[in-house]
Structure formats: structure tokens, C-alpha cells
Structure 1
Amino acid sequence: MSIRTVTWCAAAVAVGLMAAAPAAHADEDPTTVPPRTAISLRMPGGFAWGTPNEHETRSALSMSKLYIVDYALRHGDGSPEDRALSERMIRDSDDGAATQLAGKYPQAIEATAAEYGLPATHGGSDWGRSTTSTADITDFLAAKQRTDAGSPIFEWMAGASNTAADGTPQNWGTAQLPGVQGSKWGWSDVGAPEVASASFGTGFSVAAHTYGTPADQSADVLDALPALILRLAGAY
């Protein structure tokens, strides 16, 4: 058993402890996360932690597909086509499907942001130019876990394809954390590398955005979160 595995065994205990703890926010990060990466973590009892830049408005990349799909599933016309497009957007990060569904529901991102109270989330001239923050993504997923745990979004994240529709591997960042049950990834196809990931597990949601490569994000996430959760476990 590796040191990291032992760390996360203790982290699982921490989650259970915090389920009964009062709402709190960790103001100090015992690790040093490079500013290239923003990370947010939400746990039971209203517990919230994030890097100092977790509320920073950044490109939503394919994280915006979560917002579009949620709108289509709950406020759309209920058509089989909408559901099929939604599934492709989450499992395969299919851009063509996203363009079709966003074209049908151009208000989806802004409406979802207003409904869930996501201040950094805004639509752009098209879904690929929308914005969000890691805090908004985790708050959205945490709210879904509380109020709509049966959403197909979680099923599709849990059954995400190993390779996206465009051939990109889907395997980095928050998805590498033990305890994760499902994930969604995002990346830029132009310019400097930029990636995002968001995951959920029993009683938690987590998201990261990195101005860098998938390997950069994985390193930052795995360096930060195990140590943080051990510290929090000691606080309770």
C-alpha cells in the first residue's frame, strides 16, 4: 500500500467526521498550489475549501456542458434527442452534440447560473466561450447531490468514456483521486494548454482548472488534497 493510499484511507474517515460537523470554511491551505491551478472541494455539512483563486473567472471549457445538460434535462422539451445529445456531451465530451443542444437552448448557461447562484458562470457568443470558476462547478455538483441525486448527469459522469469524441484521453486531474465515482473533463484545442476536471464521490464534489497540461493538473491536485483533508480531520 502506497503512502498516498494510506493518506486517502484517513481522508475517508475525515469525510465521515465532517458529515456531522457544522458548516465551516478552511481559511489556510497547508500546501502550496501553483497559481496556474484553481481547486475547490465541497463536503457534507456545508463545508467548503478552495485555493485563493477558486472564485476566479476562467474559461469554462467543456465544464459548460454540465450546465447546458442540466437545463435541457429539467427545463427542455423532454425529447429522446435531447437526452441522447446530453449523454454524448457528458460521457464523450462531444462538441457537436453541445453545439446542437446549446443552439436549441441558448439561455441554458445563464439560466442555470441564476438558478444555482453561480456568480462566475456566464454564457458567451457560443458555449465554448462561456466562463465559470471551480467554486461554481463544485457548488453546482454539491447542490445536485443534495437535491437531485438521481440525475442522469451522475450516471453519465460515472460511465464516462476513456477517450473523448475527439480522441482525447479522459483520465487526469480530480478523476485520479481515490473515492471518485464519476468525472467530467475539459480542455482547449487552441493556444496554450488549458485543462479542467470535475468529480464527485459519496459526500463530496471537487473541481480543478489549470493553465497547463493534464499532467500539471494531476500533480497539483494530488499534492494538495490528501494533505488538506488530513489537516481537516485533525480539526474535528
Structure 2
Amino acid sequence: MFRTSLTRKAASAKAGAALAVCMLALTATACSNSESDSGALADAPSGLTDTNRDVPPEINEFLEGDEGRSVTYIRLHDGMHMGSASEHEARPALSLIKLYIATYVMEKGEYEDKYEALDMIASSSDKSAEDLFEKYPESIDTIADEFKLESTKAGEKWGYSQTSTYDVASFISQLIERDETHPVLVAMAHADPISEDGYRQDYGTAKLSNVVGSKWGWSNDKSINSSVSFGENFVAAASINGSSDELTDYVKDEVTGKSLGKATERFLKYKDGEDVPPIETTTSETSTTSSSKKDKDEKPSTGKKDKSASKEPTSESTKSEKKDKGSSDKKSTDKKKGSEKTSEPFKK
């Protein structure tokens, strides 16, 4: 159910001048991109609804997480969300902060800076981030206010900024809602396989099936890794005090068919007015310190490493387990299965 091939769906950001023109046009017309059209849930609408926003995030914060790792998943067509209780904790934003800088530049920056901002997303150029943040120091905090990103805050340098997996997933979902072919999203869909500093950009949430675009972040010593990815019907973000492979394993263990089914059932029960008590997790109370060193400025504090115990994917067992539930949950279960058909982000 995880994508095993290392071949990227998206071409390089330097694939042609037509792409750059399309990204800068800021229109609602989609760019042609046959390489990323690999079955990404085409039947699911992408808009969030006002009613679904009334469901508190804590209803589905049952995934494993602590001060060293967090994960967030948002299904776009109905707003169903699941995550770890640590998903709101401010963590080193690493290169994910470039998404906020680029979005600000696309909205308010000078013409030539827009090209640099989009290339920064695809290549993860630190030099561009440094130049653009120096020119637009208000960019991160302005975007945080505009998109209501409560755990996001700019640092003295771009690499010392903070965000949370919930914030970055919420940001991407809102960007998709505003314009599903927003230039920043298109740049994510055409990320370079290897970053400007030589780091492989194909891990974490990017390993989910039906991913259209991704952005990654890593610390100087590679001891902290993060990523955010989107498909036609979902956004997923994750961060870990660990290697890129450990991030991939963490996402694999938490974003499964089983967890999606559980989240869908609880989501629908809450929407139907049923009492849905929060699920106790083993999340630590300790937050990531605000003084942690960030991407490309200083090596970060590694903090606590804590991986999920299971390494085996469990996604194929979902449907049979749900069929065994009692008749009292039959209505919610039936509706849940219908939603799950459009939410499953994995290859079978």
C-alpha cells in the first residue's frame, strides 16, 4: 500500500519555460502535467465544507506521537482529519518554512522574486530562502496570520522558524481550496529529485500513493526530517527527530487503511451528534524547545528519538475488521466505507 518505487511522478522544476509561465499566471487553469496524473483519486472534490470545520481536531488525535515526532492527515472532500496529539506542537520548521515565504512572495513580492521563490520550492535552495527572507522578513508571520497557523512563528533567520505538522497540513489544504493549481502547489509537484545541497527528496509522506506534490525539510546534521505531501483528496504532514528512513517508517505505521477507517467512523459519529470521547495516547507532555537549531543555520538538537514499534504495514486488514462491528454502529460504518473509497492514499 506504500509506493515502493523511487521514481518520482513529478518532473524537474526546470522542465520547461511553459511551466514557469503557468505558475506565474495565477489563474485557475490547470497546467498540463501528464507525469503526475497517476490515479490520484480523480472522483473526489477538493473543497472543504463549513460544517466539517466544526469537528474538533482532538476527536481524531489518536495516532502515535510525542515531542520527537508528529503526524497530521486531512481528507479534502469532507474535511476529515486525524493526527497525533503532538501535531500542534511547534517544531523546527526546517525547509517547510519555504512554503510560507514563497506564498507571500507570490502574493506581494516583486515580479523577478516570484521566479526565485518557485525555484526555491522545487530545489529547496537555502540561498534563495536567505535572500527572500532578508528582503521580506514579514513573510512568515504574515502568512501565519492569514492562514491562522497558531504554532508558526518566524525566527531571527529563516532556518530558526517554527511550525507544526497541523499548521503545514492546514496551510496546504487551504491553499488547495483557494486555488488547486496555485503556483506553489505546482512547484511542489515538480520538485527536483535531488535538492540543491544534494539531499534526496523522496521520503516520508512522499511515499504515500497518489501523491501529486511534496516539500521536505531536514536539519544540517540530518537528525531531524520532515515532509508534507498532497494528492487530489488528501494532505499529509509528518516530522521526526530521526532519519529520513525513520520518517518514512513512521508515516507508514500511522497513516494506514485501519487508522483512516477508525478516523472516518469517529468523524461521522460526531457529525451525527453522537458522543465521541477522545482516545488516550502515550504522547509526552514535553514540547520541542524553541531554541532548537534549524535547517542550514546550525545543527539542531536531536531531542528524543522514538519510532513506532511496528514495522509492518497493517492497511489491508481494515475492511474485514470493520465488517465484524456490532449492529449498533451499522449506519456509521456503512457511511464510513463510502467515504473511505475516496480517502485511501495507498496503492494496493
Q: What is the match of residue 101 of structure 2?
A: 68
1:33–1:220 contact (8 Å) kept in structure 2: no
1:122 alignment partner AA? K
* Structure 2 counterpart of 1:106: 137
Q: Which of 186, 189, 199 pairs up with 1:168?
A: 199
1:34 to 1:4, Cα distance in 2 relative to 1, 3 A: farther
Normalising by structure 1, we get a TM-score of 0.86
Relative distance call for 1:154 and 1:4 in structure 2 (3 A) is: closer
Q: For the aligned residues, what is the CA RMSD?
A: 2.6
Conservation of the 8 A alpha-carbon contact between 2:60 and 2:82: no
Matched, 1:217 2:259: no
User: What is the 5 A alignment of 1:7-156?
Assistant: 23=52, 24=55, 25=57, 27=59, 32-33=64-65, 36-44=68-76, 45-77=78-110, 79-80=111-112, 82-156=113-187
Gaps of 5+ in 2: 4-40, 266-332, 337-348
String of CA shifts for 1:152-206, please: whole Å, max 9, x gaps: 111111111110000000111000000111100000004x700110000012111
Matches within 5 A, 1:166-205: 166-190=197-221, 193-205=223-235
2:61 and 2:152 mapped to 1: Cα distance? 25
Distance in 2, matches of 1:31 and 1:104, equals 39
Segments of structure 1 that go 5 or more residues without pairing to the other structure are 6-11
Q: CA deviation at 1:87?
A: 1.9
1:31/1:108 CA distance change after superposition, 3 Å:
closer
Offset of residue 30 of structure 1: 6.5
Q: 1:75 to 1:138 in 2, by over 3 A?
A: same
For 2:132 and 2:66, locate their aligned partners in 1 and report how far apart those are by CA, in whole Å. Answer: 35
Instruction: Quote how far apart the aligned CAs of 1:42 are.
Output: 1.1
Of the structure 1 ranges 67-76 and 149-158, higher mean CA displacement relative to structure 2 is found in 149-158
Pick the structure with greater CA Rg: 2
Identity, in percent, stands at: 31
Q: Distance in 2 between matches of 1:99 and 1:30?
A: 37
Q: What CA distance in whole angstroms lies between the structure 2 residues aligned with 1:54 and 1:169?
A: 25
TM-score, normalised with respect to structure 2: 0.59
Q: Is the 8 A contact 1:29 1:228 kept in 2?
A: no
1:9 maps to none
Q: Deviations over 1:105-150 (max 9, x none)?
A: 0100000000000011000111000000000000100100101222
Gap change, CA 1:219 and 1:99, over 3 Å in 2: same
